[in-house]
Structure 1
Amino acid sequence: MAIRIKEVIKEKGTTVKDLAQKMGISNVGLSQHINGNPSVEVLERIATALDVPVTDLFEQPKSDTASLTCPHCGKSIEIGVK
C-alpha cells in the first residue's frame, strides 16, 4: 500500500515547509519521514496537522477486493474490502 503524503499536502493547498512548521519539526526531518518509512505515530501527527484521517495518507484499493498469497501453499486468497 503506497503512502501518498505529498499528494495530500498538495490537495490541502499547503507545502512541506508549512506542514513541518505546524508540526514543530524541521523541513529536513519531515522530508525524511515522507520519503522514508514513517512510523504510525508520525503518520498520525501528519494526518492531524493536515486535518485528515490517517487513511487518507494511503493509496486506496482500486477495487473492493484485495488479493494475498498464502505463505504456506502459494494459493491466491481474495479478501473483500469495505
Structure 2
Amino acid sequence: MSEFNTVESINAQSEYCERKGVPHFAPATGICWNCRSNIYEPRQWKFEMGRKIQVSKEEATMTTGIPLEKAASSLVTGCPHCNRSYCD
C-alpha cells in the first residue's frame, strides 16, 4: 500500500517542482480550496446508484489521495478527491 504523509508530500511536491522547473500548482497547505479536503490524505469511496459517496475503509471500492511517492515523482495539477483543476 502507498504511504500517505502530508508534511513529507508537501515538501516532496515543492522539491519536484524546483528540480523540474515547473510551476507549483498544489495548495501550499495541502488543503483543496474547492472541497476543503487534504489532497495528500486518503479518502475511501464507493459508487451507489451512479454516485460516488464517501464510506469507511471496509466498504470502499476506491481510494483517492496523493501518496508520497506520487508527490515526489509527478506534478500535482488538481484535487484527487473532487477533481478540481488547480491550473485553470
Same fold (TM over 0.5): no
Greater helix fraction, Structure 1 or Structure 2:
1
Higher Cα Rg: structure 1 or 2? 1
Work out which structure has the larger RCO, using CA pairs closer than 8 Å and 6 or more positions apart in sequence. 2
